[in-house]
Amino acid sequence: MTRRTGRAVVLEEFGKPLRLREFPLPQAPDGGLIVACGYGGVCGTDLHLQQGHLDIPIPLTLGHEGLGVVQALGAGTHHDAAGAPLAAGDTVMWASSIACGVCPPCRLHREPTLCERRRTYGVNRALGDGPELSGAWADHIVLQPGTTVIKVPDGTDPLAAMSLACAGPTVAHALYERRPVRLGETVVVQGSGPVGLAAAAFAQLAGAAKVIVVGGPAARLDRARAAGIGDVHLNIAGVDDPEMVLRKVREATGGDGADLVIECAGVPAAVGQGLTLARRGGSYLIIGQYTDAGDTLINPHQIVHRQLDVVGSWAFTGAHLVEYVRLLPALTARFALAGLVTAFPLEEHANALAAVADGSVMKAVLTS
């Protein structure tokens, strides 16, 4: 018997517990898909959304990163983003956002990541806009025409794919479009959450000579080490003398600083620290300040004296998700990504969000 309803985790009020609700399962839209969403990632951004730190419409179904199995195709939907035929039963991932294509960033500046009216699953698709099943924290999701959908390579562990489901494309954008890692470079990564580990893993794949991860707490660094991500791991979380740790980072670079420092911590104070970790003539790539966590003091002399290229990178497009999925065979062959994930049944969404908030897990993923 064909299922006619789907369950979804809904944000109804900021700062209040989420609610598991049931909604009618519609027909697949023309040009779109219905996907049985077996895996929905819990991102730090979801915590900010739940707490009301971002201006979004509510109520809405949460979840902007997912993986699932195609259940139904709407009229005119025949291929994924890479041109491969799509059929019911295929395992796919999808980009969270659809750019409008007509605003100045889309039309004139070739920057769809900066689209002024992008629609994002699990972020700004309110229940009242329909369909209600428009987030990955659900057992089904309705994907609209224009969504970038890509088949997952056969044999890929879904948990491994989900370990960096949002972080991977975000870093693909940063390292492909904004400032690439060059062969033989020494790279420092600030932050040991999913974005930091994605940056470190991608830097290793790109041919960095040494990758130094500075973050914390210690358990996160241990999991990174166990996964094979990073060459040097230094804990700066909660230490009495952060400057001592920063000296160790510089020593690990050889003394002169890194060719490239990548900020993935999301802590404003990390920016001032990171500027001092790059060599003269080096680069500072800032990815982690996705939400506005406040101001911080920096010393602009560090930028001028070191003659740094300081570059920011925001979000990702469907093309960057495709790049991430294409890299999955190489990533999973080299790094033990599935070990970064802690799975929670959909019903335990509150426990998953709490675990992300207290840092007791590296990556939480809801399963249904």
Q: Are 164 and 156 in contact (CB under 8 A)?
A: no
Q: With left for phi above 0 and alpha for psi between -120 and 50, is residue 155 left, alpha or beta?
A: left
Average pLDDT over residues 286-312: 95
> Any residues with CB less than 8 A from the CB of 116 and at least 6 apart, and which?
100, 103, 104, 105
What's the whole-number average pLDDT of the chain? 96
* pLDDT over 70, % of the chain: 99
Average pLDDT rounded to a whole number, residues 47-60: 92
Strands 91-94 and 149-151: antiparallel
Task: Enumerate residues 6+ apart whose C-beta is below 8 A from 90.
Answer: 69, 70, 80, 151
CB 42 within 8 A of CB 49: no
Nearest-angstrom CA–CA distance, 179 and 158: 29
177's CB contacts (< 8 A; 6+ apart) are 313
pLDDT digits (tens, 9 = 90+) for 230-258: 999 999 998 999 999 999 999 999 999 99
For the cut 60, the answer to whether the pLDDT of residue 356 exceeds it is yes
**Strands 33-42 and 363-367, bridge-based pairing:** antiparallel
pLDDT at 2: 57
Which element (helix H / strand E) includes 187? strand 186-190
Q: What gap in Å lies between CA 229 and CA 363, rounded to an integer?
A: 15
Give CA–CA dist 302/368, Å, rounded: 49
Per-residue pLDDT tens over the stretch 12-44: 999 999 999 999 999 999 999 999 999 999 998
* Residue position matching structure tokens 């993986």: 67
pLDDT bracket for residue 66 (50, 70, 90): very high
pLDDT of residue 304: 98
pTM for this one? 0.95
Tokens 């195609």 correspond to 70
Written as six digits, the tokens of 192 are 């040991």
Across the chain, which distance is largest between two alpha carbons, in Å?
69
| Residue 125 buriedness (CB in 10 A; 0-12 / 13-18 / 19+) | buried
Residue 273 neighbours by CB under 8 Å, 6+ apart: 190, 242, 246
